[in-house]
Amino acid sequence: MLPSGGVEEQIRAGTLVVAMIIEIGVVAIIGFAAVEAFVRAAISLVRRDRSVVQLGLSQIRWRLARWFSLALEFLIGADILRTAIAPSWTDIGQLAAIVVLRTMIEYTLARDIKENSPAA
């Protein structure tokens, strides 16, 4: 027998758990990306050839921006999940604002990634 609150409440709880797991994954992605960038930057700064250092720093920024871009996409997904089950108009408005802001950041990162791509 289902506990009080029924199936809708279980689906809501499950959705919130999935959103929380995604957000934990985002924290891990950003944390690992930051550590990787820090280590690469430290190694790059030890090198003596300025052209190699500049190229290395550009690649570090490019890689970090790509990881941040991926993290933002996951965060948008988590926000959509949180709002998917019986949202109020306030929830929908907040989601819209969050998606617009994160999409603007994503666009800026994508432009930065393209400009700093090792192939560019």
Q: What is the per-residue pLDDT for 86? A: 67
Q: What is the per-residue pLDDT for 3? A: 53
Burial class (CB in 10 A: 0-12, 13-18, 19+), 39: exposed
Q: What is the per-residue pLDDT for 32? A: 97
Contacts of 16 (CB under 8 A, 6+ apart): 81, 82
26 token code pair: 């985002």
Q: What is the per-residue pLDDT for 19? A: 94
Q: What is the per-residue pLDDT for 27? A: 97
Q: Is the pTM of this model over 0.85?
A: no
Q: Which long-range contacts (CB under 8 A, 24 or more apart) does 31-34 make?
A: 32/67, 33/63, 33/64, 33/67, 33/68, 33/71, 34/64
Cβ atoms of residues 79 and 95 within 8 Å: yes
Q: What is the per-residue pLDDT for 2? A: 47
The tens place of each residue's pLDDT in the chain, 120 residues long, gives: 445 568 888 888 899 999 999 999 999 999 999 999 999 888 888 876 666 666 678 888 888 988 998 998 899 899 888 888 767 888 888 888 888 988 888 888 888 777 767 665
Q: What is the per-residue pLDDT for 35? A: 96
Q: Is the dihedral of CA 12, 18, 21, 22 positive or negative?
A: negative
User: What is the Cα–Cα distance from 73 to 87, expressed in whole angstroms?
Assistant: 21
